[in-house]
Structure 1
Amino acid sequence: MVMDLQTANRLLDDLAEELEIPDSRYEAAVRSYNSVGNWLRRSASVFAKTHVDVYSQGSFRLGTAIRPVTDEEDYDLDIVCEIFYDKELVTQEWLHRQLGEEMSAYAEAYSMTAPEHSNRVWTLHYADGAQFHMDVLPSVPDGRRTQVMPVSGYQTSDGTSVAITDQNHPNFGVRSRDWPVSNPKGYADWFVSRMRVARQRRLASLRERASVNVDQIPDYKVKTPLQSAVQILKRHRDMRFKDSPELRPRSIIITTLAAHAYQQEPTISEALVSILRRMDQYIETNGDQSRIPNPTNDRENFADAWSTNKELKDAFYDWLDTARLDFNAAAQELDPVRFTDILAPRMGRRLVEASTAKSRLLLESQRNSFRPVGPSLVARATAALVQLFDAPHRKPVRWATPPGGSTGWVAISSATCHPKGFRPFRFRSDGPPLPKRASLIFEADTDVAPPYRVYWQIVNTGQQARDARGLRGGFEEVSVVRGHLKREESTRYTGSHSIQCFIVKSDYCVARSEPFVVNID
């Protein structure tokens, strides 16, 4: 069934709403960092005679925090403890150690496990029911002069920049004016400035509908399309790199580029398409070097790790290409079933199905007004095919469907296994497991008249392929020899795998075969 454009926009609105963390989590976060602040200001604290400011940073402060992928994962709350010392009178090491001792005492007083230690922060783990941990960053006022950042044109001042501790810094153990610098308050102010018009529009809408003064509404409830778009992109990133988290693009990179690219679009779907189309324009390149400057501290490059690990840079651009394909298709999709099938591999099927539940009900209520469509691929698939269809590394189809739908058909007509030292045999889709180190030959038939181009998509799963960095999910073009559609593969990795044939003509996908599932023992 086809729905109107308003319903299509609602699909992405509902997806963003499903990603939102409950109000109770925000309230618990505020209580928790206020509690830490009160602890550091108590009379027995080593910082009792010094002004202490404790505040959140990162996604909680920006309104871009998302629900964890699973119920077993924690929310990550980042806070800054700004201790008003002159940084020339203390060392990073002393400040880091003193705050660590205070956090250890705090954890003991509240029957928590001892805090964990890392280069920059101390991590407090709350009880299982709280489902979050807190990264506590020691800092002092930076005291640098006001300056205007050349990239963003945003003004940062002495009152927002902080000097932080870092065990890897060369001056960690000595008194020096040279400390690592951060500016979470300034960054948050810059982020808000990038959505000022959309925020005013949202406040006006709340003012019309709410019976309370909008000044009494917490910031986290004033959600703009930019914030929702960042939340959706972060979840897409998390799922895409579920099997290789070490390559996952940093949230600060996605957030910064999205904020630069946002043009005050009024809907989430428009914001997503616009952001994804433009966000890489804000990456500075000089030969092999890439820079994504902190808009409030030009000395900080969020992409500095790309220069020493090219895989991180490649992973970002691979993710961006995938996101563009996924969300361009989803933004044009008017059917919640197909919308689910498009985004489930990169957003999580449970999340997307929950977000489309309301639209599915609306669709059912309008059943007599619209033409029916066939069941989704996943709805009629085997368990193995569902796993493959939802594989996060499975690339989305990059060709459009011709107006009016597919114009031909293609089907995998035969599959033959050639084990080493044994006679070849035919096998069926999702049949008994095949032996390792065998050759496979697939043949397909089509009624599409030449000329055309043939692509095969192989998607594999399993720990062996994952460990060997052998996960596949892209499209590979093959030549057509005398009208024969043929593909040779091998049984290298244990697990369930699929192969699918696509016929492309004039940049349209005019036919695609059903996925053929291959199980390997």
Structure 2
Amino acid sequence: MANCHQLFQDFNESIALDSEHKKSLRQSRDAVRNKIKAYFKNKNNGLTPKFHGQGSFMMHTIIEPLDGEYDIDDGIYFQVEKEPSVTVHTFHRWICEAVDGHTAEKPVDKQTCVRLIYTKKYHLDLPVYYILEGASPYLAHKGKGWITSDPREFIRWFNQKADSDGQLKRIVRYLKAWSDYRKGELPSGLIFSILAANNIAHDERDDVAFYQTLRNIKYSLNLNFACYRPTTPTHENLLEDYSKTNKAYFMSQLSNFVASAEEALDEDTNEEDASKCWRYHFGKERFPLGVAKQTKNIYFSESVFNRDYVDSSVSLGSYDNTEEFIEDQYPIHLQYYLRINCRVHQNGWRTRLLHELIARNLLVPTQKKLEFFISDCNVPKPYTVKWKVRNVGDEAIRRNCIRGKIVEDTGKQRKEETSDFHGPHYVECYVVKNGICVARARIDVAIKDEAW
């Protein structure tokens, strides 16, 4: 089994904020605090703001995002004896006035906060609260009025869950890095923090702990697709508003990640190939490439079927590695849902869908016609569809038929193939809109020389 613990440690170093960035962010935050304090001092309306950092910056789970724009939260609290007579909108306006001119861009008055934008650097969100002695804070929500909310309580809850080695915080960073790379409708950092804390499976190795935590999250969500906030407002289901499409996208991405993690941890996978499994979900620009320390002929397929077919005792000779990667051709910003399926045809036999065979633990026999097609897609037209067919395993290598080139769809949103020889194979589909890959899907096909 490849041990990628050190690769994960290096990955964590690359995505976590370094000390210089943290120092700079604190200085910027403190400057804004001083400006708000001065505003209310000059206003002399009896209100004195106090501050409490919140979110991933205070929890030490913040990551360096791929787009370079950090998200920092700093709560503004007013201790009062009774509910303020002025409206939520007035409090928002006061904060906008207090920070106006501090940066080149005007502050943005959002529903739950005032956002201060530091162009191409980060943005600072400033939610406003009032506190009555002995009670939970109330957040100034422009759409709902004053609502109970206590992010300080959540930080305390999370820190109580955190281990002294920091593994939980690293796992949250890994989840956020996955979401940052995949884009699309993956959960927020808050949701991932709760799911990780409730499903953590500690291990001396980060790769094993991360896989087991992923598996636990998947299992819990399959039982009940919900994520309840553990602190005020208690029992709020943060996944309640997920649409059917977004839920399907998230769960399919999670299932694919678990499958790749299982392949990475398989006893026959070397470090280089294991790292490629992880890089597929984290991005090859950020997750380090391992070293092929074993001499076995193991070939990365991004498919859980790979280990069933590669015969490491046989010398397979040279072959042309023709695989192409969509990341090398287009920017990736997965923001839509895409699902593909496959019809299996043969004269004299009833046409079957591939998932029906999988459900019955059947492999696809050779010499069948395979018709891959888009079964669900919510990308607004117009767009371009592209396909990749990848053969993996000893037979594909012997035949020098690895394939893997990305080809454009003919306009029918389908790709026809034949099951020529046994081994693991997979097909990926990409939707490209305005020069950006906005959706992708994949289906694995295991072919064996046997009849149904």
- Length-normalised TM-score, structure 2: 0.70
Name the CA distance, whole Å, in 2 between partners of 1:42 and 1:439.
64
1:82 aligns with 2:77: yes
Letter in structure 1 aligned against 2:236: E
1:35 aligns with 2:31: yes
Name the CA distance, whole Å, in 1 between partners of 2:409 and 2:29.
56
Letter in structure 2 aligned against 1:236: W
* Structure 2 alignment gaps of length 5 or more: 303-319, 341-357, 362-391
Name the CA shift for 1:502/1:164 in 2 (closer, same or farther; >3 Å): same
Give the 5 Å matches for 1:345-360.
345-352=280-287, 355-356=288-289, 360=291
Give the 5 Å matches for 1:350-389.
350-352=285-287, 355-356=288-289, 360=291, 371=295, 380-381=321-322, 383=324, 387=328
Name the CA distance, whole Å, in 2 between partners of 1:463 and 1:389.
10
1:115 paired residue number: 107
2:143 paired residue number: 168
Is the contact made by 2:115 and 2:125 (CA closer than 8 Å) also made in structure 1?
Answer: yes
Deviation string, structure 1 residues 450-500 (Cα, Å, up to 9, x no partner): xxxx87523224228989x8743234xxxxxxxxxxxxxxxxxxxxxxxxx
Name the CA distance, whole Å, in 2 between partners of 1:31 and 1:394.
46
1:322 aligns with 2:256: yes
Letter in structure 2 aligned against 1:300: E
Name the CA distance, whole Å, in 2 between partners of 1:31 and 1:310.
43
Name the CA distance, whole Å, in 1 between partners of 2:413 and 2:59.
53
Name the CA shift for 1:296/1:262 in 2 (closer, same or farther; >3 Å): farther
1:141 paired residue number: 131
Name the CA distance, whole Å, in 1 between partners of 2:44 and 2:270.
59
Name the CA distance, whole Å, in 2 between partners of 1:433 and 1:319.
24
- The offset of 1:52, in angstroms, is 2.1
Is the contact made by 2:191 and 2:227 (CA closer than 8 Å) also made in structure 1?
Answer: no
Is the contact made by 1:140 and 1:164 (CA closer than 8 Å) also made in structure 2?
Answer: yes
Give the 5 Å matches for 1:50-199.
50-70=47-67, 73-86=68-81, 88-90=83-85, 91-104=87-100, 108=101, 110-128=102-120, 131-141=121-131, 143=133, 158=135, 161-169=136-144, 172=145, 179-195=146-162, 198-199=163-164
Is the contact made by 2:196 and 2:217 (CA closer than 8 Å) also made in structure 1?
Answer: yes
Find the residue that maps to 2:286 and give its secondary structure.
Answer: helix
1:312 paired residue number: 246
* Structure 1 alignment gaps of length 5 or more: 145-157, 173-178, 203-223, 400-405, 416-427, 449-453, 476-500, 507-521
Give the 5 Å matches for 1:252-291.
252-280=190-218, 290=226
Find the residue that maps to 1:457 and give its secondary structure.
Answer: strand
Find the residue that maps to 1:98 and give its secondary structure.
Answer: helix
Aligned counterpart in structure 2 of residue 251 of structure 1, from 180, 184, 189: 189
Is the contact made by 2:324 and 2:404 (CA closer than 8 Å) also made in structure 1?
Answer: no
Is the contact made by 2:137 and 2:148 (CA closer than 8 Å) also made in structure 1?
Answer: yes
Name the CA distance, whole Å, in 2 between partners of 1:83 and 1:188.
19
Name the CA distance, whole Å, in 1 between partners of 2:108 and 2:228.
30
2:231 paired residue number: 295
- Length-normalised TM-score, structure 1: 0.61
1:517 paired residue number: none
Letter in structure 1 aligned against 2:264: A
Name the CA shift for 1:193/1:263 in 2 (closer, same or farther; >3 Å): farther
Letter in structure 1 aligned against 2:186: R
Name the CA shift for 1:504/1:268 in 2 (closer, same or farther; >3 Å): farther
State the aligned residue count: 375
Letter in structure 2 aligned against 1:63: H
- The offset of 1:299, in angstroms, is 4.6
Give the 5 Å matches for 1:404-423.
409-410=395-396
Name the CA shift for 1:466/1:338 in 2 (closer, same or farther; >3 Å): same
Name the CA shift for 1:259/1:142 in 2 (closer, same or farther; >3 Å): farther
Q: Percent identity?
A: 17
Find the residue that maps to 1:99 and give its secondary structure.
Answer: helix
Is the contact made by 1:225 and 1:266 (CA closer than 8 Å) also made in structure 2?
Answer: no
Name the CA distance, whole Å, in 2 between partners of 1:59 and 1:184.
11
Find the residue that maps to 2:127 and give its secondary structure.
Answer: strand
Letter in structure 2 aligned against 1:103: V
Find the residue that maps to 1:324 and give its secondary structure.
Answer: helix
Name the CA distance, whole Å, in 2 between partners of 1:298 and 1:50.
29
Name the CA distance, whole Å, in 1 between partners of 2:143 and 2:97.
20
Measured on the aligned residues, the alpha-carbon RMSD in Å equals: 4.1
Aligned counterpart in structure 2 of residue 463 of structure 1, from 433, 445, 448: 433
2:16 paired residue number: 20
Aligned counterpart in structure 2 of residue 225 of structure 1, from 167, 184, 189: 167
Name the CA distance, whole Å, in 2 between partners of 1:410 and 1:319.
27
Name the CA distance, whole Å, in 2 between partners of 1:504 and 1:447.
4
Is the contact made by 2:422 and 2:449 (CA closer than 8 Å) also made in structure 1?
Answer: no
Is the contact made by 1:260 and 1:282 (CA closer than 8 Å) also made in structure 2?
Answer: no
Aligned counterpart in structure 2 of residue 445 of structure 1, from 413, 420, 427: 420
Letter in structure 1 aligned against 2:238: F
Find the residue that maps to 1:270 and give its secondary structure.
Answer: helix
More helix by percentage: 1
